Structure 1
Amino acid sequence: MTENSESKNINEPPKPLFRELVVEDDEPEVTEIESLCVNCENNGITRLMLTKIPHFREIVISSFDCPHCGNANREVQSAGIVGEKGVKFELTVKEKEDLNRQVIKSEYGSFAIPDLEFEDVVGKKRGEINTLEGFMNAIISNLEILQDERKLETPEIAEKISEFIEKLEKLTEVEKPFTFVLNDPSGNSFIENPYAPQVDKNLKIIHYSRSARDNELLGFSSEEKEPETDENLKDEVLHFQTNCSRCGSPAESKMKMLDIPMFKEVIIMAISCDMCGYKDSEVKSGKGIEDKGKKITLKITDPSDMSRDILKSNTCSLKIPELEFELVAGTLGGKFTTIEGLLLDIITQLSTSNPFLIGDSVEDNMNTKLKEFCTKLKNIADGELNNVHIELDDPAGNSYLQNVYAPEVDPEMKIEVYERTHEQDVFLGIDGLKMSPAS
C-alpha cells in the first residue's frame, strides 16, 4: 500500500455499515467469500452487500456464482431490528383510491381478507413493498398458476379456485367495502395513511405483545428470566453494547434509573452511534403496569406551559383535538422531556422519518398539508398558539404531566383514572391476568 493510500484511509470519515444504494456511489461495499458449491462441490464465490431499500429496511444482498458448473443463486435477507411489539393493521377499503395505498410487508408479515375467509400462510417469507392492489393481483396470479393442470386432474378444486378468483377480482372493483388485515409479529410492516398527519378513520392499528408462538417464529426464546435487582443500580449508569437501529453499526446503549417527584421510578435509556451520528432516548416505567388506565388532559393557556415536564410512555397515545391529530401508542417510544421538546420530536418524526411523506414521489398536496400542519405544531411549541388541548391516554397508567401548582390542584389539567377495556388488556399483553393495586 502506498503512502498516499494510507493517508487517504486514515483521513476518510467512517461510513455506515448499511449504505444507501445511489447512482453516485461508485465504490459499493462488497465482501467476497470463497464458499462451497452444493451442485458440483467445488469452491465458488459468494458476494455480500449490506444496503438499504428506500421506504423499507436494511437488507443483505447475497450472490453466489460457481465458475466450474455455472451454478448461481441470489438471495435477499432482512437485517432490520425487530420491534418491541407486534403490529396488526385493519384497513376498511371503501373506494378504489384505497387500493393505491402503499403496503410494506416484512418477511414475517401475513395478510388476510376476512370477507372471503382468505388468510395468507403464516411463516417467514420474503419481504415485499407494493400497493394494496398489487398484493391482491399477486394473489390472483399465484392462484392461476397450474389452473390448466388442475382442470384436467382435479376439476372440482379448479372450479372452487376459479370461483374464489372471481370474488377476489370483484373486490378489486370495490363495489362494496371490505376489510384487509396485515399482521406482523415483528412490528416491521406498514400500511400508508394518505390523510397523515390527520387520523385515518378507515385504518385501525393495534400493537400487541407477542405470544410464545410468535417468539418462536421470530427465533426468540419464549422463556423469560426475572431481571436482577440491586439498590446500587439507582446510582449507576449501565452500559450495554448493541447495534444502531439506523445503520446497524456497533453502538453503545446507556441505562439509568430515576425517581420522578410526585410520580414513580422510571428507567431512562439512551443510545448514540459514532458511525452515523444517530442519537435516541427512551423512557420505561420501573414499576410495571398500574391496575387502571390514566387519561391526562391539559389546556394550553400560556407559553410557560411548554416548559412543563412530560413523561409519555411507550403505551401512551397523544391527541390534539383542535388539529385533529393523534399520535398512536408506540410512536416515538417512551419520552421524558418538556411539552415543547415532545412537539419538536413529533415535527421531526413527521418531516424526516415517515417513508411515505418524504422524497420526490410525494404528491405536492401531501407536502403542502404536512408543512401547514408542522407550522401549526411549531406555533404551539413557540407559545404563539394557545387554548389548545393536549390529551395523554395511557392504559398502563405510566404517563405523567407536571403539575406546576403542586401540591394544589392544577386548574388547567384534568386527570381521569379508568378501567381498561378488553382490547387495551390485549394490547398490554395482560389479557386474562388479574391486576392488583400497587402497594
Structure 2
Amino acid sequence: MSERDTDAQVTEAERAALDLANVDEAARNDALQSMADAIRAHEDEILAANEEDVEAAEEMLERGEYTQALVDRLELDAAKLDDIAAMVESVAEQDDPLGETLAARELDEDLELYKVAVPIGVVATVFESRPDALVQIAALALKSGNAVILKGGSEASESNRVLYDVIREATEDLPTGWAQLIEAREDVDRLLEMDDKVDLVMPRGSSAFVSYIQDNTQIPVLGHTEGVCHVYVDEDADLEMAEDVAFDAKVQYPAVCNAVETLLVSEAVADEFLPGMVERYEDAGVELRGDEATRDIVDIDPATEDDWDTEYGDLELAIKVVEDVYDAVDHVNAHGSKHTESILTEDEDAAAVFMRGIDAASVFHNASTRFADGYRYGLGAEVGISTGKIHARGPVGLEGLTTYKYYLEGDGQLVATYSGEDAAPFTHEDFDAEWQPGRLSGE
C-alpha cells in the first residue's frame, strides 16, 4: 500500500470521527448488533480464511519460527466466533460513554461550567495474532464514537481481511471510513508520522515493540505490553484454595497476557505446598523451573535469572521460594511487568501489604490473575490492558476511549466583570445537573 493510500485512509478516518461523534447511541447500538449478526452469518467464510492462516502458522511452527501459543491464539472455531459475536452484543449493552456530565460547577449566577465525556477522535491500534482482537477493538471504538485504524499481525492477515470486510459491510450506514485496515509495516511507519490526524496509538505486543512505537511517534501512546504476572502463596494461605487458584492462573489458558508466569511461595509453607502443586502442574504438562530452595523440595529444572523476567505464554512456569510477603513484594516490583499480581492468604494485613505495595494495574487477593480482562471486569470488552499510569490503566474499555470537553453556558457575562478592584466574586459551587445545549436560555 502506498504512502498516498495511507494518507487517504487516515484523512478519511479523521473526517469520519467528526461525524461519528454525533451519531446517537441507538444508531451505534444498531450497528453493533448488525456486526454481531454478520459475524454469525459469515461463519463459513471467516473460518475458511482462518484455516489458511493456521495452516501457514503451523508450517512456521514446524520450522521453529512460531510458538504453539501463537498458533493457539490464532485459531478460531464456531464456538469462538459465537463468543466474538456475543462480545459485540455485550458492548452494545454497555451504558453510553458519550455525553455523560462528569462534573457541573456554577461559576456565578447563570454562568455554568460542565465537564462532558466525548470521543478521543482517531485511534490507531497495532495488535498481535488473535483475530478476535480486531473485532473487540472495532466494537469498542464504535460504541465510544471513535474512528479506528486497525493493523493486525501478518500471521492473521487472511482472517483480519475477512473480518474487516464483514464489519465494514455491516456498518455501511455509519460515516464512511470510520474503520480502516492497514497491513504493511511501511503503512505503520507512515501512520506514526501523522500526529496531526491521529489522536492515540494503542500497540499490543512486547515491551520492545511498544518502545519502538513510542520512540517513533509524537502521537500519545497507550501501551499494552507483556504480562509477567505472579501468584504469591502466603504462609497464611488456604493451601487447598491456593493450589486451585495457582493452577487456574497457569493452565486455564496459558497463551494470554494475564496467565501467571512465576509462582512465589512462602518458605513457611513451601514443604507442605510444593509437592502436590508440582505434581498437579506436571500432570497438566507444565514445564517447571525453580530456584535452589524450590529444588531442595521438588525435582524440577533449575531456573535462571532470565526466567524471572520471561513471559512464556505457554505451559511453562518458574517457581521461587521467598521469605515472606515483603520479599514477595520486592521480587514482583523488580521483575513484574505492572500487569496483574495476586496474593493468596487469609491474613488481611498481609493482603494489604501486598496490594498496596505492588506497582501494577491490577492486584488481586485470593483470585486468579486470569480475571484481569475487560469482559470479566464488566467493560464489555477491551482494546488492551494498559500497564502505564497515564489516561487509562488496566483493561481499557469504553471509558478509556473517551476524553472530555468543558462546556460553558452563560448569559452574556464578561471577564471584565470579574477583574480589577471592584471584581465580582466567583461562586465556584458544584451542583448536580446534566449538560444540555442552551440549558440556561431554556429555564
Tell me if TM exceeds 0.5: no
TM-score between the two structures when normalised by the length of structure 2 = 0.26
Name the structure where strand makes up a greater proportion of residues.
1
Name the structure where helix makes up a greater proportion of residues.
2
TM-score between the two structures when normalised by the length of structure 1 = 0.27
